[in-house]
Homo-oligomer: A and B are copies of this chain.
Amino acid sequence: MISGSLKPTIARILQPQLSVLSRAMSVGATATRTDTTARLAELRTLMGSYNVDVYIVPSEDAHQSEYIAPVDGRREFISGFTGSAGCAIVTASKAALATDGRYFLQAETELDSNWELLKQGLPDVPTWQEWALREAEGGKNVGVDATLISADQAKSLTEKLASRKGGSLIGMDVNLIDLVWADKQPLRPKAPLQILGLEFAGKPFETKLADIRKDIEKYKGSGLIVSMLDEIAWLFNLRGDDIPFNPVFFSYAFITPTTATLYIDEDKVTEKVRAYLGDAVTIKPYNAIFEDVKVFGEISASAESKVLVTSSASWALSKSFDESKLTTLKTAPIEAAKAVKNETEIKGMRASHVRDGAAQIKYFAWLEKVLNSNVVLDEVDVADKLEEFRKEQKNFVGLSFPTISSTGSNGAIIHYQPEKKTCAVVEKSKVYLCDSGAQFLDGTTDSTRTMHYGTPTPAEKQSYTLVLKGHMAVARAVFPKGSSGFILDILARQYLWREGLDYRHGTGHGVGSFLNVHEGPIGIGTRMTYNEVPLDVGMFISNEPGYYEDGQYGIRIENVVQVVEKKTPFSFGDKKYYGFDTVTMVPMCQNLIEKSMLDEEEKTWLNEYHAEVYEKTKGFFENDPYTLAWLKRETALI
């Protein structure tokens, strides 16, 4: 599944080319206009009471999560706009909603007349920051929930306000939207924590803590504030169920050389979990972190021994600190450690991808039968069937994101998610794109196959084959240790570019192990941060070039690959050379391949891949001759 922004920030809507694709959302849904008049009136009354002239409502939660829980959908609540990216700003007389090109149409449909739409990226349209700065001129107060904005963003806005003779930015500890929403706001989830056994995690949390303490020492820290939810889940080998598709739980952690504190709604911490954490970890209420780090900073931190935060930490966490006592790390140590999977995780990731592949093979074989028998099924019906097949597999927990099941022109809507009421019937005569994945106890999967069960057009075959050639160029790449995913991006695009074609999303994102399907810090794409992190042995990343013909069809071919050392005949500069092992095990669509466009090396790769898919999955179909025959046909030599 295509990554939007691994750490979405308010700033990302300024980079529409990078964030064209973010979390899947309901494009298929009938957009409805929400009347926001009463909500806005209430908000403005509150703004008056709190002495705020301009109020900013970001999209993100307090942990800069890519996916948010319904309780955190504040921007959606106040504006009525349901898209995944955007920022709302309200003044005494105006209200503006800024979003990017993906959402212009949707926002126009959903926003009522109280709202001005700021189409980010269009000429002469102010950024939301510029709009806010203009409204703040003459010394007005700009308010924002300090937990929902990063310290860097707050600093930048504060400086701009000062240079524009505006007022000041006020980091508030009350959220005015929550006050308006009141008892209509969904409840924060309360699911109990689950312990992830060592047979899946591979490393005791005590060892992880010890490793992180070495990092803290390396960075001359007195303590480390952890606010990213997947980092906390990974660190303690705990999982939760607070955000759909992401097995994480709302919490903060604060690690010092001698203490570890988990800040969490204590109702979620069962006796078993409490015993498991033992003396090594203190449990405190979720919000206690703010007072704790403030006191810690005053007493224990110094210019020589600072408190460490990562760039995703909120302004609320850092604003009580004296600047000399705080260091914002460029590299998040837990994120970096988490990206390199240990032996147990590698084994689990590979095994779960084989099981997931078996479920998909069963599904694509089933779909062929259904389409040939003229049963009428829509995009949601078939996605439900795929989920059913996944559920049959060992260690299945849930989906890792909403299945993108799209036929024909819906495939060209990159972040399409079918809805029962509005979705299309799957047709044999059209290209079918399915991007899906699951959470297993031993790994997270994510793959895309584009199929055609009838007679594809030459254009469809050409597009598919160009995408496949790019996919294989990445899969076959060999590169010296130290190389980043940034430099590999052109390999995926080169064949499309020769035809004047391209796709408006990245080529790959890191994948968690029974964690978020999108995780940092690595990626394959043109985002500069991808060039800052070398690909290392044991990392897992997606390889997913695509091509989208608006109004016609969408093509994407996605496998998860593992970074491995490659045995090369030489090792110039005494360097190791790395490459990928593909771990997703689902056949490519032979029906869509224009064989004359493949060279011998590409055919060899494809045949070897298909042989591996067959060998690893055939055992699942011992009692399913129909699927086995389908698999055999689809993995035949080309």
Interface residues, chain A, CB within 8 Å of chain B?
Answer: 477-480, 487-491, 494, 496-502, 504, 526, 528, 531, 568-573, 575, 577, 599-600
Cross-chain pairs A/B with CB under 8 angstroms, 8 sampled: A487-B489, A496-B572, A499-B568, A500-B568, A500-B569, A500-B570, A501-B570, A599-B600
Known contacts A487-B526, A488-B490, A499-B570; can you find 6 more A-B pairs with CB under 8 A? A477-B497, A478-B497, A479-B497, A500-B568, A500-B571, A504-B573
> Which residues of B have CB within 8 Å of A494?
477-478, 491
CA distance A323 to B394 in the complex (A): 66
CA distance A490 to B528 in the complex (A): 16
Known contacts A504-B573, A599-B599: does B498 contact A478 (CB below 8 Å)?
yes
Which residue of B487, B499, B500, B502 is within 8 Å of A490 (Cβ)? B487
Q: Are A502 and B480 in contact (CB under 8 A)?
A: yes
CA distance A534 to B494 in the complex (A): 17
Q: Are A500 and B599 in contact (CB under 8 A)?
A: no
The 7 A-B pairs at the shortest CB distance, nearest first, are namely A500-B568, A500-B570, A502-B572, A478-B498, A500-B571, A501-B572, A478-B497
> Which residues of B have CB within 8 Å of A487?
487, 489-490, 526
Known contacts A487-B487, A489-B487: does B480 contact A573 (CB below 8 Å)?
no
> Which residues of B have CB within 8 Å of A571?
500
CA distance A575 to B499 in the complex (A): 12
CA distance A499 to B599 in the complex (A): 19
User: What is the distance, in angstroms, from A106's C-beta to the closest C-beta of chain B?
Assistant: 21
CA distance A575 to B568 in the complex (A): 39
CA distance A479 to B497 in the complex (A): 6
Which residue of B496, B500, B577 is within 8 Å of A500 (Cβ)? B577
Q: Are A499 and B569 in contact (CB under 8 A)?
A: yes
User: What is the distance, in angstroms, from A493's C-beta to the closest C-beta of chain B?
Assistant: 8
> Which residues of B have CB within 8 Å of A528?
531
User: What is the distance, in angstroms, from A563's C-beta to the closest C-beta of chain B?
Assistant: 14
Residue with the highest number of chain B CB atoms closer than 10 Å, among A498, A568, A570 = A498
Minimum CB distance partner of A601 in chain B: B599
Q: Are A502 and B575 in contact (CB under 8 A)?
A: yes
> Which residues of B have CB within 8 Å of A599?
599-600
User: What is the distance, in angstroms, from A548's C-beta to the closest C-beta of chain B?
Assistant: 9
> Which residues of B have CB within 8 Å of A570?
499-501
> Which residues of B have CB within 8 Å of A491?
490, 494
User: What is the distance, in angstroms, from A410's C-beta to the closest C-beta of chain B?
Assistant: 20
CA distance A479 to B500 in the complex (A): 8
CA distance A64 to B531 in the complex (A): 29
User: What is the distance, in angstroms, from A474's C-beta to the closest C-beta of chain B?
Assistant: 11
CA distance A568 to B497 in the complex (A): 8
Minimum CB distance partner of A496 in chain B: B572
CA distance A313 to B613 in the complex (A): 60
CA distance A572 to B490 in the complex (A): 16
Residue with the highest number of chain B CB atoms closer than 10 Å, among A478, A488, A500, A528 = A500
